[in-house]
Structure 1
């Protein structure tokens, strides 16, 4: 089964403009842009090809500078999923699976991506995404961010069969106490799609839930397409996305702890 990884990246982020070009210091002090660190993470997943997708010349130039293949997409793409659909249309050969590894997730372990690709071997799965059971540190970060009025990440609520009920930037379910918290699942910003599911997505309008939460995957749920949640294990690695300027220090601390240059 063929699989291609796309890394959508845009300059005009609402919460953090210019985020893909923010530099992060590694364990030895080496500074690399967020988009380069995300691309390096994608390279470890063993896909057939990895492409950076962007509509911004600054990001494209930076990506080509560190050796990435780049596909230019339109400035009308409203999110990474739409950008992936535009990317597929530029490929000479359509892959069986398209993986969207968001450009703000440089700490994504390669086994998260391979788990998604394995899940897509089931022909009934049209779209899949990883979920990670929150440890105390991550859950504390979530709750602290929300108390401070920041969006620190996304949580997933699932049915018994593993398909998603809902995704939210709120911490769901409600956490009344960190000393005895409920089971909370962190949604990891990686998606795998069938090319046909991407084509369907482009034919749907943005719905009220997607608009309110700013979460592109809700368009699938609002239009009746199941989203399969694939539980993954951190295996001792801290996972965190760069959503706010405060996350730079958090990610740099993990890079240092993991010895990632």
Structure 2
């Protein structure tokens, strides 16, 4: 397990290639994550609640993302962001201990950990209806592929605590254009930055919505060119690049370096 600890120490000293500014440096507490923040147009941005599982799954489908059945189950069981919550309450160091425990236990423990490292934020209106949702978590599939291609296991495991993917971002048609998607992204970044993550990224299909590149650029993300990718050598200490599949483009943002 020394490899994981060494990687965690190295990540804490990593200087990413960009220094984004203005991403809400105020400290987040687990209670604040549950209660939420005031959002645009009299909305509230907060962690999803069990009773909202069906509404969130339906909304995520608007983003062209068919959620895994485990998403609704994890929402109802209040398993999402449990590990992140401990890091917010204590220190990002607890994530290393949770990772070590998951590796020791084997079986499905690593997948369970990824759920606890996931984040599902919602935007609710003043009637309590879910009108926006963002799902993010470690890029398990990508990390598994890297290990199959020969990247050392310790490095891929450590990346569970360094890289998060925005899997889906959706806002109901009637609520679009009010800054709700931007607010969800900002709060997502705020939580992961405080938990010690270095990179937040996602993918989109420009053929489905030609305005998404401009949208993500305005939120401080770099949009990779078509057929481009994300250089992750700063994370893995090896020449690793994430390439998108098909017609999708990547957008990414590095944590502010202090």
Q: What is the TM-score of this pair, normalised by structure 2?
A: 0.34
Q: What is the TM-score of this pair, normalised by structure 1?
A: 0.33
Q: Which has the higher helix share?
A: 2
